[in-house]
Amino acid sequence: MTKKQKTAAAWTVVIIAFFGGFALANVQNKVPPVIDVIMLYFNIGETDAGWLTSVFTIMGMITAIPASMLMHKMGPKKIGVISLACAAVGGIIGAFATDLWVLMATRVLEGVGVGMIAVVGPSVISMWFPAEKRGLPMGLWGSWMMCSQTLLFFIGGGLSTAFGWQGVWWFCVAFCVVVLILYMWKVDAPPEGTPNYAEGEDEEEFKLGDGFKSASTWILTIAGTIFTFCCFGFATYISLYWAQTLFGGDMNQSNWWVSVMYAIEIPVVIFIGWLLNHIKLKNRRYVGVIGFLLYTFILFVCFRMEEPGLILPFILVYPFLEGSIPTVYWTLCPSTAKSPEYSGTAIGILNVGLNIGTLLGPPVTGFFIENYGWATATIPLAVASVLGAIAFFFVKTYDHDSDKATARAAGADGDLTQASV
């Protein structure tokens, strides 16, 4: 392949991988836009509703590390297809649930899919792009949650009005099936003759345990855990808060504003990804530090706003403060591994932390809301954000020398050419 063809192939794979993340993010985020309908349907409070958002992450935590192992053996195509299939099956069963515990169980099955796809997406990017050029594709990947939140908060009210909360479930099932077909068509590791930047010099020497020895990976995982704790604690309840406080209980109006906010965040994270490509690898952590420190202030005021006029400035500022953090940790994560063949393991470890934060954020925030009020619930979110900034400061990255991967690919390409003569 020519350089232009390799670039086109890389971006085709990355875009489809992104839609895989988008599909699974829809599965993860489908509760908040219809949380009022679900609470009424199952007769539950905020805390139980919070567990509906986060219970499926238990399987996400369990599957993240095995997913990185399996992908090393089976490749991203098969793991991606399995993850999308799990989410689709869980969604179909969940749409027929009339008991809360049945619905909870289906969320666990869906979590298998989310746990796997969250490893596949960034791993594919680390295969096709060297560290110095990962910022933009990781920025695109980092927008998967925002794209989902934008879409679901925009259409969730209409679907639930027409079909009940089950309408959102069926929409997510259909999305997963379409993307599953695309995955089967195109997503895979780079072929022979194309550089694989997540491949070591001697793949025979791969030992899973060595991937756990990077302290930097664990520090980044702490930062990621804190982010999802804050992010999902906020996202699960912000629409409900605005509806109750500012819009007289009108969830559709509240959902619309949340949708606009996350729509703004999509180009923001892609821009930040592009910006990271122009910052030295060792200095990219400071973008995360600054992002977390500024995020602290917006979290502290999020459940304290009582004037409708404050919503517009809030939704304009929030995307810039939240959006920088996931873009940075996705971009840095493969480079926290001491050698490139352990990039997938590093991504798996990070995903365990992200799922822990997602698991704890909504119920902890819901507990504070139910027992101490909306304003008090902002305190644990803000304190956690400060700790996230501290963790980011200590993240270290390693130079994986992309030139070696290019040289190996050139050698393999030459061997193939010679063999065909």
Give the model confidence (pLDDT) of 259-297 as tens digits: 899 889 999 999 999 999 999 988 999 999 999 999 999
**Range in 47-56, 74-83, 213-222, 373-382 the model is least confident about:** 47-56
Instruction: Work out how many domains the chain is built from and give that number.
Output: 1
Does residue 306 carry a pLDDT above 50? yes
Asked if the structure places residue 406 within a domain, the reply is no
CA of 406: how far to CAs of 202, 206, 344, in Å?
15, 20, 19
Number of C-beta neighbours around residue 10 at 10 A: 20
* Paired tokens of 297: 């202030």
Does residue 353 carry a pLDDT above 90? yes
Q: What percent of the chain has pLDDT over 70?
A: 92
* Average pLDDT value over all residues in the chain: 88
pLDDT of amino acid 101: 92
Asked if the structure places residue 412 within a domain, the reply is no
Q: Span 229-233, mean pLDDT?
A: 93
Does residue 402 carry a pLDDT above 90? no
CATH assignment at residue 384: 1.20.1250.20
pLDDT of amino acid 403: 53
Which range of residues forms the domain containing residue 154? 3-185+206-400
Give the model confidence (pLDDT) of 80-125 as tens digits: 999 999 999 999 999 999 999 999 999 989 988 888 998 999 999 9
pLDDT of amino acid 405: 52
Asked if the structure places residue 194 within a domain, the reply is no
Asked if the structure places residue 197 within a domain, the reply is no
The residue among 46, 106, 116 whose CA lies nearest residue 75 is 116
pLDDT greater at residue 21 or residue 201: 21
Q: Are 31 and 52 in contact (CB under 8 A)?
A: yes
Does residue 416 carry a pLDDT above 50? no
Q: Are 262 and 319 in contact (CB under 8 A)?
A: yes
The single-letter code of the amino acid at 420 is S
Asked if the structure places residue 413 within a domain, the reply is no
Asked if the structure places residue 199 within a domain, the reply is no
Does residue 173 carry a pLDDT above 80? yes
Asked if the structure places residue 210 within a domain, the reply is yes
**Range in 172-181, 235-244, 281-290, 403-412 the model is least confident about:** 403-412
Q: What would you report as the CA-atom Rg of the chain, rounded to the nearest whole angstrom?
A: 21
The single-letter code of the amino acid at 56 is F
pTM for this predicted structure: 0.82
